[in-house]
Structure 1
Amino acid sequence: MKRTSWTIIGLAVFVAVGLPSNLAQAQKASDASRGIALYGDSAYEGFSQAIEDIYLGSEDLGRIIEIPVKVGQRVQANDVIARLDDEIERASMEIAQTQASMVGEIHAAQASLDLQTIRVEHLRRLLRDEMAGSDELRRAEMELNIAKARLLTATEQRSLRTAEAKRLELQWKRRTIRAPFDGVIAEKIAGLGVTMTPTEPEIVRLVRTDVLHGVFNVTAERALAMKVGMETQVYFRAARRTVDGEIDTIGPSINSESGTIEVRVRIENPSGTLRPGDRCTMRLVDTNHVDEVPSSISRRQPSGVPRW
């Protein structure tokens, strides 16, 4: 009878003490398997974001005649993204370049100047020999100044035509939309034959993914203790990877509703395996801020968490 009583008491103690412990360990292992580091307030939840995410389009009106890219394609800076019809702009540019290359007017003005220069020198010699009058010399000198002005006008006109040709060339080049940086085509908004308008100028969406930003809303007390350049580790849930990063920016203001400050972590992603929009978890690894991890929580890496 006593043995049975002690058995019942032992089972009760096991249920009261051992079972919760086992459940906690099971929950901890489950969290670890999902890559969530159990560091209390030192872990911050957020998401990843492309460092550049823009819509490419054209400020000019025109019909799209070529889009040599597709969604998911990687492009390099200055690669052609789209072309607009450019027959009129090309013709205007070629006319202006031809006009800028014409030098006949300059040559004629130069010849007139040379002739007037010789005439003035000849009249000065005759005036010294008292074989020409001073009035004739003054008229020749005036005509010489007029010839110089004509040459200057012809030179200025050619410079103006050259500048106009360059302007039209730039206007023609704007009909070709090029990538401003290395990136990936995330979306095609317009197609062949579509006419660009001021209200709908976008053609494609281009994102830069070689560098990502981890965006985290951190409580003001914690964020004010952080510094730009502090080392971090960021776990990407969909990719199931932990990567190194460093704090890039700390917001200048506190969100009045949540009491948080936006902290952005710079993450190098040269291979492009990490994607923008992935949920991620960040913790500090700067040894100067070890107090970020509560002393009641072990700083040892939980089993099953990549690198953490």
Structure 2
Amino acid sequence: MPSTIRRRVPNALLDGSRPTAPSHIDGSATRRMAIVLVTLLGLTHSNPAVAQIEGFTEPHATIDLAATENGVVASILVKEGETVSKGQLLATLDTDVLETTLEVARAQMHSTGKIDAAQADWRSWQSKLDKLRELRTKGHASQTELERAEADCAIAKARLEMAREDQAISALDYKRIEAQLERRRIRSPIDGIVLKVFKDAGEAILPTSPNVLTLVELDPLRARFSVPTPQAASLRPGSSVLVRFPETGRQAIGAVEFVSPVTDAKSGTVPVAVVLPNEHGKYRSGVRCVLEVPPPAGAGGSTSENSANRATAPQKTDGPPGPNRKDNHV
């Protein structure tokens, strides 16, 4: 989308009004957000050359959830537009055969008959070997008989170890089937919203159409802009910027997520992405927004002059995503 640059001074600063912050905000979060907002608005007020770049919002993430195995959809547990949390079960494939196989593996895993029989056999041969050794010392048993008993005892012990190994393999087989069952359960990898459901219960999952549903992450929200190269020079990843929504009159403080190192040769602009807090979905994805970009250094006044021009933060302003996001309403 081509970028447009306009110049504007906030009305709240022109008419001298001083909106106050809501009383429920306090502490260091209020002071930090007030400093960021006052600085940004001070730059706009003291320097009318602040660039206003039009852009649009989009989901922070869009995920097409696909089944990892072929089969028939057993159930769809969500609807389009429903809010889901990370790890929530969204859909399942048919699991009848695997569940039966799992029961067999569980029985084999807990079976101890082979181990008990092998252990009893080994103890019997060990007892015989001990008696033959005693008889051999007294000359009542031949060396051949002793060696044969030693071999039989070793074989019995090996059979006991094999029984134990078989039980361990059964336990691993049980875990393998459990993993296969889990692969037939589709869970949400994010906290988001169901945008589209592609399958209904009873439909087949094929290699050509594995997608079951689409999720979007709207908190935080991402805004994309094409910023002219001179203005982009003042932006750094992690820095705070002011984003306005003309249609609703809202504004938010976001964090610069990405500044492309390459300027588009055709438009002379730099792709920039900004992350915005979007608790409770107050901002829509796909709408127009405006990024306030300070002028390049040396153009339109010094930083000290701008920071000296402080104003009270206007209402309807939200802070950048972070641990104190719930206190970022100024």
TM range (shorter): 0.7 to 0.9
Q: Is the 8 A contact 1:46 1:280 kept in 2?
A: yes
Q: Distance in 2 between matches of 1:174 and 1:292?
A: 58
* TM-score between both structures, scaled by the size of structure 2: 0.72
Match of 1:110 among 110, 119, 125: 119
- SS of the residue aligned with 2:200? coil
- Work out the number of aligned pairs and report it: 272
Q: Match of 2:185?
A: 176
Q: Distance in 2 between matches of 1:220 and 1:127?
A: 98
Question: Please, which runs of 5 or more residues in structure 2 have no aligned partner?
Answer: 1-6, 13-43, 318-330
Bigger mean CA deviation after superposition, 37-46 or 112-121: 37-46
Q: Match of 2:71?
A: 62
Paired AA for residue 60 in structure 1: E
- SS of the residue aligned with 2:275? strand
Q: Is the 8 A contact 2:68 2:184 kept in 1?
A: no
Q: Distance in 2 between matches of 1:275 and 1:166?
A: 44
Q: Match of 2:174?
A: 165
Match of 1:186 among 177, 187, 195: 195
Q: Is the 8 A contact 1:84 1:176 kept in 2?
A: yes
Match of 2:267 among 251, 258, 261: 258
Q: Distance in 2 between matches of 1:178 and 1:252?
A: 36
Q: Is the 8 A contact 1:41 1:292 kept in 2?
A: no
- SS of the residue aligned with 1:115? helix
Match of 2:297 among 277, 291, 297: 291
Q: Match of 2:255?
A: 246
- Cα distance, 1:159 vs. partner? 1.5
| Cα shift readout 1:3-39 (whole Å, capped 9, x = no counterpart) | xxxxxxxxxxxxxxxxxxxxxxxx969x979xxx895
Q: Is the 8 A contact 1:41 1:293 kept in 2?
A: no
Task: Evaluate the alpha carbon distance shift between residue 109 and residue 282 of structure 1 in structure 2; reply closer, same or farther with a 3 A threshold.
Answer: same
Q: Is the 8 A contact 1:42 1:292 kept in 2?
A: no
Task: Evaluate the alpha carbon distance shift between residue 121 and residue 284 of structure 1 in structure 2; reply closer, same or farther with a 3 A threshold.
Answer: farther
Match of 1:226 among 230, 235, 241: 235
Q: Distance in 2 between matches of 1:80 and 1:293?
A: 55
Bigger mean CA deviation after superposition, 276-285 or 143-152: 276-285
- SS of the residue aligned with 1:291? coil
Paired AA for residue 291 in structure 1: A
Q: Distance in 1 between matches of 2:75 and 2:298?
A: 54
- Divergent runs of 4+, >6 A: 298-301, 304-307
Bigger mean CA deviation after superposition, 120-129 or 241-250: 120-129
* TM-score between both structures, scaled by the size of structure 1: 0.77
Q: Match of 2:132?
A: 123
- Cα distance, 1:43 vs. partner? 2.5
Larger Rg: 1
Q: Distance in 2 between matches of 1:221 and 1:141?
A: 89
- Cα distance, 1:74 vs. partner? 0.6
- Cα distance, 1:155 vs. partner? 1.5
Paired AA for residue 257 in structure 1: K
- Cα distance, 1:284 vs. partner? 4.4
Task: Evaluate the alpha carbon distance shift between residue 102 and residue 253 of structure 1 in structure 2; reply closer, same or farther with a 3 A threshold.
Answer: farther
Is it true that 1:269 corresponds to 2:275 in the alignment?
Answer: no
Q: Distance in 2 between matches of 1:292 and 1:130?
A: 110
- Cα distance, 1:224 vs. partner? 4.4
Q: Match of 2:224?
A: 215
Q: Distance in 1 between matches of 2:236 and 2:170?
A: 55
| Cα shift readout 1:176-212 (whole Å, capped 9, x = no counterpart) | 2111121111112222322111111112111111211
Aligned-pair Cα RMSD in Å: 3.1
Q: Match of 2:215?
A: 206
